[in-house]
Structure 1
Amino acid sequence: MRSTKRTPWTRPPQAAEDRSAWRQGVAVSVATSAYGVSFGALAVAAGLGVWQTCVLSLLMFTGGSQFAFIGVIASGGLAAAPSAIASAALLGVRNVAYAVRMNAVVGLSWWHRIAAAQFTIDESAAVALAHTEPRARRIGFWVTGLGIYLGWNLATLAGALLGDVLGDVRAYGLDAAAAAAFLALLWPRLRSRQAAAVGVAAAVVAGGLTPWLMPGMHVLIAAVVAILVGWFVGVGTREERTS
């Protein structure tokens, strides 16, 4: 009778994917958290106090919205608060779409879903969707979300306290580290023609509209373009297969 006993060096595919989710979550957390130093320093330079800066990271916790908020405040002072809030809200709308997609990933209980709302961001959704197994997706989501939340808030505090010492934090290129980590997750998913077309179209639209629209609008328009391109390319691919 053939033995089904697993040899010591054989590892089940599920365990390997779980470890991959852990590694990706930690790596993305470190790269993204470092960018929090920039936010802390720039927020204080824009006129916010240290405690106000830290509260923004604790409660808002979505980098794009936070930078949009302080960007408007820096240019118009507290009188520009309504515009700053509007810009931050527009950028935060994308998290609603993430929440819908992550609903089945984070866990089955209601308290899992309530807790996940605070950690549903670009990076946690990206790491989760980079995997196929449900357990690995949950690991990727929670490790990334919790890791960035802790690291981002610590980095925000450090940037707010050391802003004068650090000087112009934009010169350090920390924003590039976060973008590189995100691109590393996205790149393996661009192998099909449909995925590549969607990515290129959305990037071109977002980049072209950025100088002309208020923060957040270019992201929403790029998302609509991505949906349309993905739909039409998908339809064309199916027609080719059936013809």
Structure 2
Amino acid sequence: MRSAQRTRTPRLSDGTSLVRDSSLVWLASGVVGVSFGAVSVAGGLPVWVPVVMSLVVYAGSAQFSAVGVLLAGGGPAAAAATGLLLNTRTAAFSLAVADIIGTGRASRLLGAHLVTDETVAFALAQSDPVRQRRAFWISGLGLFAVWNIGVLGGALAGGALGDTTRYGLDAAFPAVLVALVLPQVRADAVVRRCALAGAAVALAVTPAVPPGVPVLLALAGLFLHRRRSVESVGAAG
């Protein structure tokens, strides 16, 4: 009895701590979700558009970009192409968490839908594979729920919130993401070099490319990690 209790207690404590740690990301997600729903409806789209998009697409910045194209007069094809371009970065994220998600078909299908910048960063920041998997699912499911609730609330509020940019909502996600990845950047020299290289690329191209594209191009920093890994293998051989 005593050993069973000792086994269950750490698990409960571990899950509770992950919920507590990810709650800040959920809060930021809900706030930005409200902004997305309100901006979409205030711009003239029906309530169901941001709501269905958030459930089916679930791609934060790509959703903002797609709605921006629609509100600017672009067609659905142009909006979808913009969203797909900005969301291609999740392909790299999916590779990073492929082993964490699990091997079952259902797990991989649902897990792929939950892959976001914040969820991947939160999972990879954990210390061991078991905790990483638990962090991915707790963070991912919570983020999905809060984001969609926020979008629905913002869409129903419509234009009543006024200009949502004056509240500084656009800064919520970047601030939270920096807080999540900073410990990993400090602890790992290779990660730090990749992050700095990616940041340099993003800053360099920002004046010349559309919003969102610098994030995609910043993935070039991953090639630095790949090159160093190949060099290390060659040296070992």
Shift, 1:126, TM fit:
1.0
Instruction: Decide which of 38, 41, 45 is 1:44's aligned counterpart.
Output: 41
Q: Could you tell me how far apart the structure 2 residues matched to 1:227 and 1:190 are?
A: 14
Q: Kindly indicate whether residue 200 of structure 2 is the aligned counterpart of residue 218 of structure 1.
A: no
Q: Could you tell me how far apart the structure 2 residues matched to 1:103 and 1:233 are?
A: 22
SS for the counterpart of 1:26 is: helix
Tell me if structure 2 keeps the 8 A contact 1:124–1:144. yes
String of CA shifts for 1:98-143, please: whole Å, max 9, x gaps: 2222221122322211221211111111111011222211221111
Q: Which moved more, 1:22-31 or 1:167-176?
A: 22-31
Structure 2 equivalent of residue 228 of structure 1:
223
Q: After TM superposition, list the pairs within 5 Å mapping 1:116-195 onto structure 2.
A: 116-191=111-186, 192-195=188-191
Structure 2 equivalent of residue 209 of structure 1:
205
SS for the counterpart of 2:99 is: coil
> Structure 1 residues 91 and 235, CA, compared in 2 at 3 Å: closer, same or farther?
same
Q: Which moved more, 1:97-106 or 1:62-71?
A: 97-106
Shift, 1:37, TM fit:
0.9
* Structure with a larger share of its residues in helix: 2
Q: Could you tell me how far apart the structure 2 residues matched to 1:165 and 1:147 are?
A: 27
Q: Kindly indicate whether residue 69 of structure 2 is the aligned counterpart of residue 69 of structure 1.
A: no
Shift, 1:23, TM fit:
2.4
Q: Kindly indicate whether residue 2 of structure 2 is the aligned counterpart of residue 22 of structure 1.
A: no
Higher Rg of the two aligned structures? 1
Shift, 1:15, TM fit:
7.1
> TM-score, normalization: structure 2?
0.84
Instruction: Decide which of 180, 192, 199 is 1:196's aligned counterpart.
Output: 192
Length, aligned pairs only = 231
| Structure 2: stretches of 5+ with no match in the other structure | none
Q: Could you tell me how far apart the structure 1 residues matched to 2:52 and 2:31 are?
A: 18
String of CA shifts for 1:182-201, please: whole Å, max 9, x gaps: 11111101124332222222
Q: Could you tell me how far apart the structure 2 residues matched to 1:94 and 1:214 are?
A: 15
Q: Kindly indicate whether residue 56 of structure 2 is the aligned counterpart of residue 59 of structure 1.
A: yes
Q: Could you tell me how far apart the structure 1 residues matched to 2:97 and 2:189 are?
A: 25
> Structure 1 residues 176 and 220, CA, compared in 2 at 3 Å: closer, same or farther?
closer
Shift, 1:235, TM fit:
7.5
Q: Could you tell me how far apart the structure 2 residues matched to 1:174 and 1:19 are?
A: 27
| Structure 1: stretches of 5+ with no match in the other structure | none
Tell me if structure 2 keeps the 8 A contact 1:21–1:127. no
> TM-score, normalization: structure 1?
0.82
Amino acid at match of 1:171: R
SS for the counterpart of 2:156 is: helix
Shift, 1:162, TM fit:
1.4
Instruction: Decide which of 82, 107, 110 is 1:112's aligned counterpart.
Output: 107
Q: Could you tell me how far apart the structure 2 residues matched to 1:12 and 1:152 are?
A: 30
Percent identity over paired residues: 36
